[in-house]
Amino acid sequence: MQKQIKMSVRLIKRANSIMRVLTGCEVHKVDTTVERRTKWLKSLGIKTIFDIGANRGQFAMEAFQIYGNIKIVSFEPLQDCYAELLKIKSTYPSLTPYPFALGDTSEDSFIYRSSYAPSSSMLEMDDRHKALFPFSADLTKERIRIRRLDEVASEIDVEPALLIKLDVQGFEDRVIMGGRKTFARAKMIITEVNFERLYKGQADFNKVHSLLHDLGFRFRGFLHETHNKTTGCLDFADAYFLSDITIYE
């Protein structure tokens, strides 16, 4: 029960932040139910979610709390995290997890597995990341399979409207380039973006923004921001993009 309460509080805070980002309005009176605070999310008519970089299903669980038994397709190459997704599927059968990564190629590869699983990446971790987050610094290589999103999406029945969540630690541009057609079909995109160099060869905010803008999306703001504790500079954040069609509906 306490876990559900904590999740509800987190959802309320997240929904409140999203509302402020997309409408430009500061909400002074906090609603007491997730239903009210996420009403606008439901109004988008999302029917399918692609959860790219699903980890242990944290985002999927929040989405189920908002949308109910919505169709979620999760992509997670780390085997122990994928096993956790299978456990969630036993409770939410509309979840379909895939045990591979996404990129701009289809091939066997490897991932840099971090001692802090969410920091694992297809890219080698930069020393700056290790200094800022020492608990994530221990790395091992893990063999994985990587595929192109457009190739995979052609095998999936995608019911619109589509929301794509992207959390791949600097590999965002490769995922987008391997899934241009699929991304162009989305109504909303939530993606982590970097402002400081945390991974070698990473895509930064400007790169991700440019790619999504070319596909017909507009940046609407940040949900969560992580700042350097010493300098106050923005290190990375969760960015929200809406399709032009959605904005002018």
DSSP string across 74-120: EE---HHHHHHHHHHHHH-TTEEEESSEEESS-EEEEEEEESSGGG-
- For residues 19 and 94, the model is more confident at 94
The pLDDT assigned to 3 comes to 47
How does residue 35 score in pLDDT terms, banded at 50, 70 and 90? low
pTM of the predicted protein model: 0.84
Find the Cα–Cα–Cα–Cα dihedral 114, 116, 118, 122, rounded to 10°.
Answer: -10
Q: What is the pLDDT of residue 32?
A: 41
144 vs 109: CA distance, rounded Å: 5
- Nearby residues of 138 by Cβ (< 8 Å), 6 or more positions away: 114, 115
For residue 72, pLDDT beyond 60: yes
Domains and CATH numbers, the chain: 1-42 (no CATH), 44-247 (3.40.50.150)
- pLDDT tens-digit map of 108-137: 999 999 999 999 999 999 999 999 999 999
- pLDDT for 246 equals 62
Please tell me the distance from the alpha carbon of residue 34 to that of residue 6, in angstroms, as a whole number. 12
Q: pLDDT per residue over 188-222, tens digit each? A: 999 999 999 999 999 999 999 999 999 999 999 88
